[in-house]
Structure 1
């Protein structure tokens, strides 16, 4: 049970709560944008936003007379901030760049913003409709929402732990930002091994640096590894070994891909082949786990939609806008455009089941599944495959974010209508900010993305799936088709094992989506994520109480610090004369 929330007389839906959330959200969305382009993952910003908002208003309250900051205001503020941070699910690090690359088209700023806002607002509509059924299902705990409510309650309990958590977070942010500013050079250390070249590169050697087996000290990667846990991190490392140490030299030796410079990194040379088995593993894992989730949910419960007039009004406005945008911007058929909206509801229900049980939003998996769905609805049409799938999976992503906030609000006694308004305000500022920064950072997606600097695995996956589903097998190198088949079989069997083995053995089965992701990430990223997860595991064994209290706060501070510094540093480098 949650401790009782102090009853504060201040109104939860205050202007300052909304404005604070919007300001923090416009900053935190940069963190997710940076991580999305670097490692293909993002984090729920609720806990970080709660701590930062609390720190800000404690400081303001100590300097000027003002009403005390309340737990429900903190809930409203973090709802707006996390909504802004979650706007990337509307396609900014996946479908939108993939569309720009494959269609060789421009996407102007304001149409992009309106597109993202419309998709995200549909997510609010979906979340509100399924909220009662989801939150009253005892099987669905929504651990991220519970964690947010616990953090907010801790902050207002007056305990020393709350002060220490905020100090840990701020210290981690300060150290990380200072390191990026004053020591901007990243000291990358290649591992000391090489592999004799075979076939096309016989007589030469392939170094660890060529394959990306490098120690790349990064606060963000170490911290993110601490958050994702050992199962995902070890799966990433295993995938990196298979892809870059096993298949990489073999691909070059067979002459399927060209070797890069002797002293350089061969990521951009090998990724064109490795992306296919990697995406095949992720897609097979997504389809199988989604089918299992649907099968289980059909056995355990039925989902009932519960709407008020506000939801009907919002949907009646959004539906024609989204259909019109698809037809006008991308020349998508009316039939396919109309199907995107009901599919968003279906995918949101599936995503909510997964998030409610595990706390992990399966947005990447749903993106792949939605592409597969629209390849059946409108075969051979690349733009339809990308952008209608963008609507369905993007709305589902925003819906799962709001459902976590609804859970926190349920525990704190916050009015869900107030949270919906805060979510909408966060969406507006998040889309405006993230689209603008993306266009400044990545003016030429075709040349800048899927490179060592910006691997953008989400873009790589959406691009590869769209090509395969619309252009057929001709888009895939013949040698890669066999690897794809093996990846599909292995990933499917691994997920089906969850139905066979006892639950106590489930943590020991590898994550096939993480292994597939390692095929489209530079090897050094997977290595550092694994090191971070192992260090966190050791800390949890040696100091379990300390780790439970402070590890996530320290990790969140490191992620926020390096992400913000990385984005600002990249922008300053671009505008520097």
Structure 2
């Protein structure tokens, strides 16, 4: 069944009350089973398992992989098999949606273990007791839920923001569960085709697996690798044609083109406005400012090389300022949306809110945020030595940073947790100079709560698309948090660090994100003078640009072609991903334009045939491939994201969890020989 959604014109012209009434009448399926025992148990089990993969991968790379689409497909396949064996019935689409909310929250809630908590342990040379870590992470997750639902009214109900990864999950579930109809089958085929293509590319790109299991060389991760190694590179150097800007190689400016297509599909879901804004910001940052600042010695190399980390230490301040001012202005410039979120608190029964009975009550957030905030302040002072007033200040900062995080996640599916943490570290570097533990743990509060808020709204998006009950997804988020804690925290303490603080920062447990947090905190010990005057100027310029772009967008009634959040976000992403996302948005925009011209021509031909002698023609012509692609953008992009993500997780597990030494074998025969050594004689 095709997902029902408002047209762009309706989104911009209808009031919030009209949108809520339309959704309740046309989309909501409240009589369908949703948060059932089997969806809850399945989500908690899958989420616990997927939290382990993210735990290991995050410890090795600093990244957390999205697990929503993965859990959707796994649960669908599991219950399809059980149904055919006569052991149960298929999951409903809304049961699967509730399940993915649980699994997703379990998958990403353990990030503090390899970020702020790990950095704190390295700085203090003490390991936080496991029980304290579990309580701390749970309280942060609950505060994220309480901040999320008042924002849902604006970002999902009113503005209908895409939340690309959530949209992809919704399309996947619709295609899987509604595939009895012809349209559903067609979408499922597109989904499968895109997934297989993306998965194949991820497999071919993996060096260890291709070498160990197939004795083949992997395809390069970047199209430009031949320019930096081998005879051709030497020839370019002799001719003075090495690819560089102002003497800095393009690859050290992250100006490279990735062979993966996952971010291309993400761009297809985010739209041309965001894609163009990202590209313009990326060109300004990486093609103009970074080479100039490197040439003048303002951006310094790390270990003799530049790259994303070195450039971002300068660029993130202006980028985050742009995102901050635009997010705050956009939020407070629509007071009616804010007031609508709080209606029903003074009027008995909430007469004007048609969704009052199925949304999480805003009253719960108003009462809960101060209570949970006090708990965090008290625990922060008892366990981490954060003065109560500094801890209390972190709570309103959470609101500001949650706006930024949600804005970013809504249009790109990327939550800038690291950048927000650094911004908090900068703030507390001024408020509490020389206090490194306060610097780290307050950053952990703001960044992790903002991340939970943004990711919960990402989970809610598919439920809104499919007609699910928001309250069930809020409860599912809490269940998922418990599932992730119960398994991943003991594994972290008992298997990975084993009571040895010296394991942090080693080859087996590099925790790169924690090392970055620790490094920023140590730099801030010197005071805010470490910021170069150009970075301070960038903060002012970024703040002004953010407001001007947002004001212009509203004055032109959303016709202004740029997004302030995307412009700012370009300064904290690498250009490789920026280019891929722009390319995806541009390709699907071209398809939409060409499809629109075909439909217009077809309408003209139909009108002419109706007025001609003999009446209408026998049958309409088959739709061309570009029209089909434009009409099924979500299915194609969702398939690519799902296939690439599944393969990426599988390869990461192979590379991190399953006998890493075996994967270093030069051939499949040698690998099997090493495996046999582990078997009993």
TM category (shorter chain) comes to 0.7 to 0.9
Deviation at 1:80, TM superposition (A): 0.6
Residue number in structure 1 paired with 2:357:
none
> Aligned match of 1:334 in 384, 388, 400?
388
Measured on the aligned residues, the alpha-carbon RMSD in Å equals 4.8
Is residue 101 of structure 2 the alignment partner of residue 79 of structure 1?
A: yes
CA distance in 2, matches of 1:473, 1:37: 29
Residue number in structure 2 paired with 1:200:
none
- The question of whether the paired residues in 2 share the 8 Å contact of 1:87 and 1:116 is answered with yes
Is residue 75 of structure 2 the alignment partner of residue 53 of structure 1?
A: yes
Which blocks of at least 5 consecutive residues in structure 1 are unaligned? 197-204, 261-265
CA distance in 2, matches of 1:449, 1:574: 10
Is residue 342 of structure 2 the alignment partner of residue 304 of structure 1?
A: yes
Residue number in structure 1 paired with 2:678:
none
Q: Deviations over 1:172-216 (max 9, x none)?
A: 5753565433346654614367789xxxxxxxx876666666666
Q: Deviations over 1:411-430 (max 9, x none)?
A: 65544443333211211233
CA distance in 1, matches of 2:448, 2:414: 15
Where 2:483 maps in the other structure, the secondary structure is helix
- The question of whether the paired residues in 2 share the 8 Å contact of 1:344 and 1:396 is answered with yes
- The question of whether the paired residues in 1 share the 8 Å contact of 2:191 and 2:636 is answered with no
Residue number in structure 2 paired with 1:277:
314
State the structure with more CA Rg. Answer: 2
> Aligned match of 2:92 in 67, 70, 76?
70
> Aligned match of 1:191 in 222, 227, 232?
227
> Aligned match of 2:456 in 402, 405, 409?
402
Is residue 646 of structure 2 the alignment partner of residue 560 of structure 1?
A: yes
Where 1:82 maps in the other structure, the secondary structure is helix
Mark the CA change 1:321 to 1:172 in structure 2 (over 3 Å): closer, same or farther: farther
Residue number in structure 1 paired with 2:44:
22
Residue number in structure 2 paired with 1:545:
631
Q: Deviations over 1:459-478 (max 9, x none)?
A: 74x556645655314545xx
Residue number in structure 2 paired with 1:202:
none
CA distance in 2, matches of 1:572, 1:495: 46
CA distance in 1, matches of 2:293, 2:251: 16
Mark the CA change 1:381 to 1:68 in structure 2 (over 3 Å): closer, same or farther: same
- Where does 1:414-433 land on structure 2 (aligned, <5 Å)? 414-431=468-485
- The question of whether the paired residues in 2 share the 8 Å contact of 1:378 and 1:385 is answered with yes
CA distance in 2, matches of 1:487, 1:195: 35
Q: Deviations over 1:353-388 (max 9, x none)?
A: 776788775655654554455456545423223312
Mark the CA change 1:448 to 1:325 in structure 2 (over 3 Å): closer, same or farther: farther
Where 1:504 maps in the other structure, the secondary structure is coil
Which blocks of at least 5 consecutive residues in structure 2 are unaligned? 6-25, 239-246, 346-360, 592-625, 663-673, 675-681
- The question of whether the paired residues in 2 share the 8 Å contact of 1:168 and 1:553 is answered with yes
Instruction: State the TM-score, normalizing by the size of structure 1.
Output: 0.74
Residue number in structure 2 paired with 1:116:
137
Where 1:301 maps in the other structure, the secondary structure is helix
- The question of whether the paired residues in 2 share the 8 Å contact of 1:340 and 1:388 is answered with yes
Moved more, 351-360 or 339-348: 351-360
Deviation at 1:509, TM superposition (A): 7.0
Q: Deviations over 1:198-240 (max 9, x none)?
A: xxxxxxx876666666666446566656666633653446533
Mark the CA change 1:565 to 1:370 in structure 2 (over 3 Å): closer, same or farther: same
Count of residue pairs the alignment pairs up: 543
Instruction: State the TM-score, normalizing by the size of structure 2.
Output: 0.64
Mark the CA change 1:41 to 1:313 in structure 2 (over 3 Å): closer, same or farther: same
Deviation at 1:330, TM superposition (A): 1.4
Is residue 146 of structure 2 the alignment partner of residue 125 of structure 1?
A: yes
Mark the CA change 1:28 to 1:296 in structure 2 (over 3 Å): closer, same or farther: farther
- Where does 1:302-451 land on structure 2 (aligned, <5 Å)? 302=339, 303-304=341-342, 307=361, 318=372, 321-341=375-395, 343-344=397-398, 348=402, 363=417, 366-368=420-422, 370-371=424-425, 374-375=428-429, 378-406=432-460, 408-409=462-463, 412=466, 414-431=468-485, 446=505
Deviation at 1:102, TM superposition (A): 4.9
Residue number in structure 2 paired with 1:201:
none
Deviation at 1:76, TM superposition (A): 1.1
Residue number in structure 2 paired with 1:289:
326
Moved more, 312-321 or 465-474: 312-321
- Where does 1:140-179 land on structure 2 (aligned, <5 Å)? 140-144=159-163, 149=170, 151-157=172-178, 158=180, 159-164=184-189, 167-168=192-193, 171-172=196-197, 175=200, 178-179=203-204
- The question of whether the paired residues in 2 share the 8 Å contact of 1:276 and 1:484 is answered with no
Q: Deviations over 1:245-289 (max 9, x none)?
A: 5544654xx9965873xxxxx24xx77753431232233224322
